[in-house]
Homo-oligomer: A and B are copies of this chain.
């Protein structure tokens, strides 16, 4: 690498490490130490012990409590907490997931759903890992459909306490991290019954083990057993048999039960209350998106560096050439590198927005109204969505709803991107990719479940699409689903037509590489998909189909819409990131953004052709331009992967580190 390449590489690395370069560096220093280097072959029990040990070190460094208020050992810095999570994901995946369970889900639920008395009592201990705990939401019978949880907590007037109960075997809590071994308490999501009335899902803090690790009375726990990956995390099932939980253990930021057994909540609608509580999942989803990218970065860096060194075949009588010189190999890896960059900026942008809104809301009275399209809505039933009432909301509510939808979309797109990038990386390395020591296969198995937990991707994408449909509710006030769909179908049509560019036939390189063109194309697609989805829905509803069936019928359309919308947001964030980049790295990043945009257009060219947005010659020209960009960026492939700032000792791939 010559000096000028090195300086671009360094500048790029410095730019990508911001913000929170300090905590990232701190985590990287830890990842270099033996405690964080998990052997390739390790038994489950030992793996779990090692992961717990690593968590202790992280807590000792104060890295577990960054998102909590200063009063409880934190820094009130959710963005920093996500940066820690993101950086940890360069290493053993079990560590990062157990970290997320303890400090993000368990601690996060106490912090966000609880009030001062809970914070004072538990938050400091949670951040210090003195009180390991669980986030017990999912049940065996109910994963995506959280609203259908069957665990019950019934208020008992005499005891002034709740009786927590698992009504049948299939209502046991499932896949609960920290449950099989280490958890001493759990935030348990349960149906709340007070005075014979059902108030929907609420969260109680429930002790499950004593300090010696013995199960408390009424608690039954079963190890979830061997998983495809993440075997260093002790997931388990939990059943409750008439467990008495004191009144003050109700996390009561959004609803409380008074001493004399009266249920009170500042949020009138049970639906809105529910969505608000699920809002605690947002930080987790952003974190998973970030960790997905870290895994993709490891895989792609290993594959790119290997492919620059590995030679195979060549011209007659010439030496063999590096496999990265093959165009099919470039096509396999470089668009994934570009997409990783794009999503990196999208996640960074979202993290900052989230941190800003959360800070602005700290100490607020609860007023957040939910997206109106959260988890429980993802069933396709439109009924819930229309549940307006008890508006208006403040500006920060609106911002948070937007952030929730973005987090859902980015989590889905980033986790699937990681799966693909890792798979391409594995195959690009041939047999050596199959060696466990090159990390890719292990990361692939570990991160596979990222597509499922914290909200299954298909469900999240339905949620994104519905939130796009529902955004017009603001303008229109109370509307039925049919009204909304009809309104969007008509309104969006006009907007889209106005924007349809005439350049369907331009095929010159200047035009095809123009970011303005990319933005227009991405916006056009997102808008038009919204319009056409609404029109299809409207047709079905007009024909008398009920909302559940109609939403079900257009699921693929809604999924396409959600991905297109997320890619549009991603491109915008990427272009902003290019604009703000230091001058010497800007041209390179601009080309990476071009590759991202054009390759995504190429991948979806069927849609652009169908829509008449491009014609065949242009479609072919886009493909050719993607090939040309890959050939050009091939020279900078190493700079681009180095920019991610993964130290060799952390990368640790046997066929790459120390080889070049």
User: A residues touching B (Cβ–Cβ < 8 Å)?
Assistant: 40-41, 43-44, 138, 142-145, 148, 174-175, 224-229, 312-316, 318, 320, 325-329, 331-332, 378-381, 383, 419, 423, 426-427, 430-431, 433-437, 440-442, 444-445, 448-449, 451-453, 456-458, 546, 548-549, 552-553, 555-556, 559, 605-606, 609-612, 616, 619-620, 627
The secondary-structure label for the interface of chain A is helix
Nearest B-chain residue to A327, judged by Cβ: B555
- Return A47 CB to nearest CB of chain B, in Å: 11
The answer on a CB contact under 8 Å between B328 and A225 is: no
Q: Could you tell me the distance between the alpha carbons of A30 and B143 in the complex, rounded to whole angstroms? A: 38
Give complex CA distance A143, B314 in Å.
14
Chain B residues with Cβ below 8 Å from A431 are: 138, 143, 174-175, 449, 452-453
Known: A452-B430, A606-B619. Is A435-B224 also a contact (CB below 8 A)?
yes
Oligomer copy total: 2
The reply to whether A433 and B452 form a contact with Cβ atoms under 8 Å apart is yes
Q: How far is the CA of A660 from the CA of B442 in the complex (A)?
A: 33
Instruction: Give complex CA distance A316, B481 in Å.
Output: 14
Contacts of A445 in B (CB 8 A): 228, 441, 445
- A144 contacts B313, C-beta separation under 8 Å: yes
* Distance to closest chain B CB from A123 (angstroms): 28
Q: Could you show 24 A-B contacts with beta carbons less than 8 Å apart?
A: A41-B44, A143-B431, A148-B313, A228-B426, A228-B436, A228-B441, A312-B379, A313-B381, A314-B381, A315-B546, A315-B549, A316-B381, A318-B548, A326-B552, A327-B552, A328-B458, A434-B449, A441-B445, A444-B448, A556-B627, A606-B609, A609-B616, A611-B616, A612-B616
If A226-B40, A457-B427 touch, does A326 touch B555 (CB 8 Å cutoff)? yes
Kindly provide the distance from the CB of A658 to the nearest chain B CB, expressed in whole angstroms.
15
Which of B312, B427, B441, B456 contacts A430 (CB under 8 A)? Answer: B456
Other-chain contact of A143, B312, B441, B448, B609 (Cβ < 8 Å): B312
Chain B residue with the shortest CB-CB distance to A226: B436
Give, as a whole number of angstroms, the nearest-CB distance from A366 to chain B. Answer: 27
Q: Report B-chain residues with C-beta under 8 Å of the C-beta of A41.
A: 43-44, 226
Give CA–CA (A148, B145) in the complex, Å. 57
In the docked arrangement, what's the CA distance between A331 and B560, Å? 13
Among A225, A430, A612, find the residue whose CB has the most chain B CB atoms closer than 10 A.
Answer: A430
Report Cα–Cα, A328/B451, bound state, in Å: 15
- How many Å lie between the Cα of A445 and that of B448 in the bound state? 11
In the assembled complex, which residues on chain B have CB atoms less than 8 Å from the CB atom of A315?
381, 546, 548-549
Nearest Cβ in chain B — how far from A25, in angstroms? Answer: 31
- Looking at the assembled complex, report how far the CB atom of A313 sits from the nearest CB atom of chain B, in whole angstroms: 3
Which B residues are CB-close (under 8 A) to A316? 381, 383, 548
Q: Which residues of B contact A553 (CB under 8 A)?
A: 327
Which B residue sits closest to A376, measured CB to CB?
A: B313
Q: Which residue of the partner chain B has the closest CB to A437?
A: B225
Can you name the residue of chain B whose Cβ is closest to the Cβ of A41?
B226
Q: How far is the CB of A250 from chain B (nearest CB, A)?
A: 27
CB-based contact A434/B328 at 8 Å:
no
Residues of B within 8 A of A225 (CB): 40, 435-437
Contact for A314 among B379, B426, B435, CB less than 8 A? B379
**Cβ contact within 8 Å between B426 and A448:** yes
Q: Which residues of B contact A616 (CB under 8 A)?
A: 609-612
Collect the chain B residues with CB atoms within 8 Å of residue A426's CB.
228, 448
Q: A419-B423, A441-B448 are in contact. List 20 more A-B contacts (CB 8 A).
A: A40-B225, A145-B320, A227-B435, A228-B435, A313-B379, A313-B381, A314-B548, A328-B555, A329-B458, A426-B448, A427-B451, A427-B452, A427-B458, A434-B448, A434-B452, A556-B627, A606-B606, A606-B619, A609-B616, A610-B616
Name the distance in Å between A617's Cβ and chain B's nearest Cβ. 9
Residues of B within 8 A of A175 (CB): 431
Chain B residues near A620 (CB-CB < 8 A)? 610
- Interface pair A313/B378, CB less than 8 Å apart: yes
- A482 CB to closest chain B CB, in angstroms? 14
- Inter-chain contacts of A320 with B (CB < 8 A): 145, 148
User: Which residues of B sit under 8 angstroms from A456, Cβ to Cβ?
Assistant: 427, 430
Is A430 a contact of B144 with CB atoms below 8 Å? yes
Report chain B residues within 8 Å CB of A383: 316
Bound-complex Cα distance A612 to B617 (A): 11
**A147 — nearest CB in chain B belongs to which residue?**
B313
- How far, in whole Å, are A408 and B561 apart by their CA atoms in the complex? 37
Residue among A331, A605, A610, A620 with max Cβ neighbours from chain B (10 Å): A610
Least distance between A460 CB and chain B CB atoms (Å): 12
Q: How far is the CA of A379 from the CA of B328 in the complex (A)?
A: 12
Residues of B within 8 A of A548 (CB): 314-316, 318
CB-based nearest B residue for A429:
B452
What 10 A-B pairs come out closest when comparing CB atoms? A228-B441, A313-B379, A606-B606, A315-B548, A328-B555, A226-B436, A609-B609, A610-B616, A434-B449, A605-B606
With a cutoff of 8 Å between Cβ atoms, the chain B residues found around residue A453 in the complex are: 431
Chain B positions within 8 Å of A448 at CB level: 426, 434, 441, 444
Docked complex Cα distance between A631 and B206 (Å): 44
Which chain B positions have C-beta within 8 A of A437?
225-226
Residue from A379, A419, A434 whose CB has the most chain B CB atoms within 10 Å = A434
Bound-state CA distance A43–B43 (Å) is 8
**Which of A318, A329, A379, A453 is the most central at the interface, judged by chain B CB atoms within 10 Å of its CB?**
A379
Q: How far is the CA of A145 from the CA of B445 in the complex (A)?
A: 30
Q: Choose among A44, A138, A452, A553 the residue with the greatest number of B CB atoms under 10 Å from its CB.
A: A452
Q: How far is the CB of A506 from chain B (nearest CB, A)?
A: 17
